[in-house]
Amino acid sequence: MSEALYVGIDLGTSRSSIVASSGARVWMESYVGWPKDFIAQKVLGRQVLFGREALEHRLSLELYRPLERGVIKEGIERNEEAVRELIAHLVSMVKPEKGQKLYAIVGVPADTLKVNKLAIRKAVAEFVHSLMVVSEPFAVAYGLELLDNAMIIDIGAGTVDFCIMHGAIPTEADQKTIYTAGDYIDEQLYSYLSDKYPNSRFTMTMVRKFKEQHAFVGEPPGKVQVELPVDGKPVLHDITTELRRACESILPPIVDTAAEMIARFDPEFQAKVKNNIVLAGGGSLIRGIASYIQDNLKEFGPCKVRTVEDPLFAGSEGALKLAQDMPEKYWEEL
């Protein structure tokens, strides 16, 4: 048997990814579904479906998106089962050898470390040998080696997480989470389109796809048109204004929180942090978002905002790097 397998997992509200020391890299939408009845079981031929496949067959499934704001949803027993299945599926996709020891670091939102730690332990206990739970922006920072005088803003579906790095493991005071994130954009866009096009039929899943395909802030790159059914017939709809309003709705709290955290930081190092701000997470893919945030932070002095190259894997890659570098004494055996 080969040496222990180290894995980094970014367990997200919308998407989850895993990277292993073997070189395997996998991501999937954070959906788990069980067939509704014996007909669905016969049609699908499987006990459980995941990710994109689960979404495509959602009418035949009891479909779960078990993470809400980065936390396992409380009060629904099957959500815990769905998270266990999701993690088991992710781990199986990196193909560990039978009996191989697995060391896993899991990234979660900054404000939910304490809440999530026990739930994540329960979810992964049967799959890994040792575990550490860290904040998602810290994992991103570690992977990019932005360990001193930098700020990571991780814009996910359920949360936006902030972390200031200052050459040491960040404390609670160095991190913050807000909840006006990707899902909030979806809710706003759904509301705006419902008001503008009351005779059109669409679902939140459709709205989420529109956002993922066309999201932008600032000046539009062109007219954004999508097909929506009206009385069963597909009709082109202009959603440019509504999409911009929805995407820009999350920006004031992001700018305010970033400014507040920088203002609380040691004044001798504030300028360095302001010139080293990195956006991560799926929200960093919104066209124009780095420039928008940079322009709105300039009233606090010169600053520079950029985005990570690979938002899908920045968190899990950082978690893997941390796992490989982590001294043995920091690991928690399960």
- Residue bearing tokens 């039929």: 201
Amino acid of residue 202: F
Q: Give me the residue label for tokens 């996910």.
A: 156
Q: b or e along 117-147 (b: 16 or more beta carbons within 10 Å of the residue's beta carbon)?
A: bebbeebbeebbebbbbbbbbbbbbbbbebe
Tokens of 114: 């304490």
Q: Is 27 in contact with 16 (CB distance < 8 Å)?
A: yes
Detail the DSSP E strand segments found in the chain.
5-11, 15-20, 25-29, 32-35, 49-50, 61-64, 67-68, 71-72, 102-108, 130-135, 148-155, 160-166, 175-178, 225-230, 233-238, 277-280, 305-307, 332-333
Q: Long-range contacts of range 188-195, CB-CB < 8 Å, 24 or more positions apart?
A: 188/245, 188/246, 188/249, 189/239, 189/242, 189/243, 189/246, 192/242, 192/245, 192/246, 193/228, 193/237, 193/239, 193/242
* R_g (Cα) of the chain, nearest Å: 21
CA distance 143 to 137: 10
Q: How far apart are CA 309 and CA 261, in angstroms?
A: 24
The answer to whether the pTM exceeds 0.75 is yes
pLDDT by residue, tens only, the chain of 334 residues: 468 999 999 988 899 999 999 999 999 999 999 999 999 999 999 999 999 999 999 999 999 988 876 666 665 668 888 888 998 999 999 999 888 899 999 988 776 666 667 777 777 777 888 888 888 999 999 999 999 999 999 999 999 999 999 999 898 889 999 999 999 999 999 999 999 999 999 999 999 999 999 999 999 989 999 999 998 899 999 999 999 999 999 999 999 999 999 999 999 999 999 999 999 999 999 999 999 999 999 888 899 999 999 999 999 999 999 999 988 887 876 5
Look up the CATH number of domain 5-140+313-333: 3.30.420.40
Query: What is the tens place of the pLDDT at every residue in 126-160?
Result: 788 888 888 899 999 999 999 999 999 999 999 99
Number of H helices and number of E strands within the chain?
A: 12, 18
Q: In whole angstroms, how far apart are CA 321 and each of 6, 31, 150, 250, 315?
A: 9, 26, 18, 31, 10
Q: 245: how many CB neighbours lie within 10 A of its CB?
A: 14
Altogether, the residues listed in the chain come to a count of 334
3-state secondary structure of 149: strand
Which residues 6+ apart lie within 8 Å of 232 measured at CB? none
pLDDT digits (tens, 9 = 90+) for 18-73: 999 999 999 999 999 999 999 999 999 999 999 999 999 999 999 998 887 666 66
182-248: CATH number? 3.30.420.40
| Ranges of each domain in the chain | 5-140+313-333, 182-248
Do 5-140+313-333 and 182-248 show the same overall fold? yes
- Residue 271 region by backbone torsions, left for phi larger than 0, else alpha for psi between -120 and 50, else beta: alpha
User: What's the start-to-end Cα distance of the chain, in Å?
Assistant: 21
